[in-house]
Amino acid sequence: MLILLALFACTSDDPKDDTAAPADTDADADTDTDADTDADTDTDTDTDVTLAGTCTDDTHWGAFLVDSSEEYAFVTGSISDGVVPVTVLTNVVTSGACTIWRRENPFCDPTCSPGYTCDLTGTCVVYPTTQDLGTVDVTGLSQAVSMEPVTPGYNYYDTSLPNPPWDAGDLLTLRTSGGSYEPVTLHGYAPTTLVPVSMDWTITPSAPLAVAWDAPTGPVNTELVLSLRIDQHGTTPSSIECTFADDGAAEVPGDVIDTLMSYGVTGFPAGDLLRRTADSTPIGGGCIDLVASSSRFAQVTIEGYTPCRSDGECPDGQTCNEALERCE
């Protein structure tokens, strides 16, 4: 939130990552409401459920993700007792459905003591810690999930799911048993499997990036989220996130591409698409969400740019800047 999916399945330099995936923290992405379906496999819920969308950055204490990628499906999540300062992103520019988000690099002098972190005002604050939510159960999947926290860190995950882990349209329900907070309940709807026309993206200066995919079938109201990250090692890296209507085609405007490129290009570019529903609920003094997504990762090529890990990967006359992973 996009993602994850880099936001949970693997490490990433995506500025929108706060739990290694994804889940989106754009407060305007609350489009997945009034989702109507009769495919409810949670037997104690017999009415349609309205989803609340995702949390905002400044209230986001954590997330759970149920994702079906091309290779595997999983459930994962962790919840803290506060907002990690660097996950509160700066909106650089918004154009249509797309926003460039910048991750800040707060500085404190003197540096913060162990157990503290620097916030965006340059003040040392207590670093949020992950919390025990007791048993976390997810029903509505083709295989019921019951997770206990893995310590240290109170992380939750289950990677043993079939793929896809659901029938499209099914109502998903996540419940916690308690622990550090009162029990909470979150819902989602299983999205139709995302089938893109192509996940080979070529980034050309001033040209829009067009993407296309098979429009979903069925009554569930989903949204399509695109993420693009081309500055993996910048001091304040930025990324594009677009939230599109899930109707089969969209594009990232060329001026947004140019603005992103002007902030720098480092490392190996990355991108992804995910079809999702999202729900959120208050917890403690913050907010947590549940994202149910079908995701696909992109192979991203930038015209005139070569990423690298060694000189041998660079064109003639160039060497590899290994710190920035780019040929110069």
- Chain mean pLDDT for the chain: 88
What distance, in Å, lies between the first and last C-alpha atoms of the chain? 33
pLDDT band per the 50, 70, 90 thresholds, residue 9: very low
Give me the mean pLDDT over the 47-67 stretch: 94
Per residue in 277-311, pLDDT (tens digit) is 999 999 999 999 999 999 999 999 999 999 999 99
Q: What's the gap between Cα 281 and its chain centre?
A: 17
Residue 35 has pLDDT above 90, yes or no: no
What percent of the chain shows pLDDT beyond 70? 86
Please give the residue that has the higher pLDDT: either 41 or 228: 228
Please give the residue that has the higher pLDDT: either 242 or 1: 242
pLDDT band per the 50, 70, 90 thresholds, residue 43: very low
Beta-bridge partner residues of 138 = 145, 174
Number of H helices and E strands in the chain, helices first, is 2, 20
Per residue in 244-272, pLDDT (tens digit) is 999 999 999 999 999 999 999 999 999 99
| Cα–Cα distance, 233 to 198 (Å, whole number) | 27
What pLDDT score was predicted for residue 28? 39
CB 23 within 8 A of CB 3: yes
What pLDDT score was predicted for residue 51? 97
| Cα–Cα distance, 63 to 279 (Å, whole number) | 10
pLDDT band per the 50, 70, 90 thresholds, residue 90: very high
| Cα–Cα distance, 67 to 295 (Å, whole number) | 7
pLDDT band per the 50, 70, 90 thresholds, residue 18: very low
Amino acid identity, position 164: P
Instruction: Report residue 317 as tokens.
Output: 């006359």
What pLDDT score was predicted for residue 175? 98
